[in-house]
Every structure is written in C-alpha cells, then in structure tokens.
Amino acid sequence: MSAATDYTRRQITGRGIPLPGNDIDTDRIIPARFLKEVTFETMGQHAFEDARKQNPEHPFNSPVYKGASVLVVGQNFGCGSSREHAPQALMRWGIAAIVGGSFGEIFFGNCVMLGIPCLRASQEDLEWLQREIGRSPQSPMTVDVEKQEVRFGDRTVKATIPDGPRNQLVGGTWDSTAVLLEAGAAIETTARKLPYVAGF
C-alpha cells in the first residue's frame, strides 16, 4: 500500500445487505476446503459458497445486493474457527462494515486487523435495518464508527463498538504491526523478566 493510503475508518457509507439468523459460524462463511490456499486472493469467490448453493434465496446470491458494503447480521456472527479467511472472504466480496447483535471474538479481532468495523446494535434495530434494506436495497446507509450509530434514511440507531478497537479504527492504527514495533526494546525487557524466558 502506498504511504498515502487512508487507514482511518470514521464512517462507512454504502448499500446494505441483510443476513438474518444467529450463530452463523466461520465454517458457514467459508467452508474449510477453500482454505487450502497460500494466499487470500480467491476467498471472495467462496463467501457462503455452500449456503448459497443450498439456498437460492441467500442474500449473497441476489443481484439486488451486488455491490453492497454494509452487512447486517444477527447474534454471535462469526463464531467458531479463527480462520481469517472468513473476514477476508467478506472483504473481498465487498463488505466494508458489519452491524450485528454480537460477534465471535476472534472473528471480531480479525475484522479489526483488516479495518472492518463490527458494531453491535439491538435486536429490534437489527430487524428494522434488515427490513428496511430489503425494502429499498438501493438506498445507502452509514455506519458511523466515531459516533457509534448507524443511519438509514432519516432514522439513526445506536450501534456500539468497544473503545480500544474504535480508537484503532477511527485513528487509523488498526494495522497493528507498526504500533507494536514502536515498543522497541521494551518487548525484550518484558520477556527477560519472565522466569520461563530468563531460565528457572
């Protein structure tokens, strides 16, 4: 990426795609057989592959949601396997932000590492958003990470994200390697204080 790349994720505006249902696991987002790759390049093609084949009505099959970038899900989305291939698949399909009831924690962390904000909203608001997106799939919506809200049409709903990841996303410091490297020799100093590193 060039030095001019903007890493800040203050707000994301785009069309929505609703995916109702709870406990959608990362095996469902991308089945394990597609993980046999040494790059993430092809992952976007396989997002929800089995679910899409089994269900022609799956939102990821629908031409009306092509080009959508805000995914609205239910509870415990992305539970299960730690595979980053899951958020990579969604990102490469076009998803730039996710709004849901709750998220699998490793999935949430992986999304932060890719600069994809995952915000939590109430069940009632999620159902409303999913309904509204279904009614007018061409309307843009905004996920405001900084203000912790989601705007659709003339309505604004509350959507939260913990302070740490919010600061990373808003501040553009989610690409963490550089930030962690800044600690310099403090890393080795911390290690040397540990008896199992220093030697018992």
Partner 1 sequence: MAKTLLDKVWDAHTVRTLPSGQTQLLIGLHLIHEVTTPQAFQMLRDSKLKVRMPERTFGTLDHIIPTTDQTRPYADPLAEEMAVHMIRNMKDFSLPLFDMSTGKQGIVHVIGPELGLTQPGMTIACGDSHTSTHGAVGAIAFGIGTTQVRDVLATQCLAMARPKLRQVRVDGALAKGVYAKDVILAIINRLGVKGGVGYAYEYAGPVIDRMTMEERLTVCNMSIEGGARCGYVNPDQTTIDYLRGRQYAPAGAAFDKAAAWWKSVASAPGASFDDVARLDGGAIEPMVTWGINPGMSVGVSQRIPAPESAPESDRSTFREALAHMSFQAGQPIKGAKIDVAFVGSCTNGRLSDLRIAAEVAKKGKVAKGVRALIVPGSQQVAKAAEAEGLHEIFQAAGFQWRKAGCSMCLGMNPDQLVGREMSASSSNRNFIGRQGSPTGRTLLMSPAMVAAAAITGAVADVREILK
Applying CB under 8 A, which residues contact partner 1? 20-23, 25, 27-28, 31-33, 35-40, 50-51, 53-54, 74-76, 79-85, 87, 102-106, 109-110, 113-114, 123, 162-165, 167-168, 171, 173, 176-177, 179-181, 183, 186-187, 190-191, 193-197, 199-200
Query: Shortest approach of partner 1 to residue 62 CB, angstroms?
Result: 19
Which residue, 79 or 133, is less far from partner 1 as judged by CB? 79
Which residue, 53 or 155, is less far from partner 1 as judged by CB? 53
Contacts of residue 70, defined as CB under 8 A and 6 or more positions apart, other chains included, come to: 12, 14, 15, 16, 17, 95, 96, 97, 98, 99, 141, 143
Which residue, 69 or 81, is less far from partner 1 as judged by CB? 81
**Contact predicate 169/1, CB 8 Å:** no
- In the chain, how many H helices and how many E strands? 9, 7
Query: Shortest approach of partner 1 to residue 32 CB, angstroms?
Result: 4
Task: Identify which of 87, 86, 88, 95 has the alpha carbon closest to the alpha carbon of residue 141.
Answer: 95
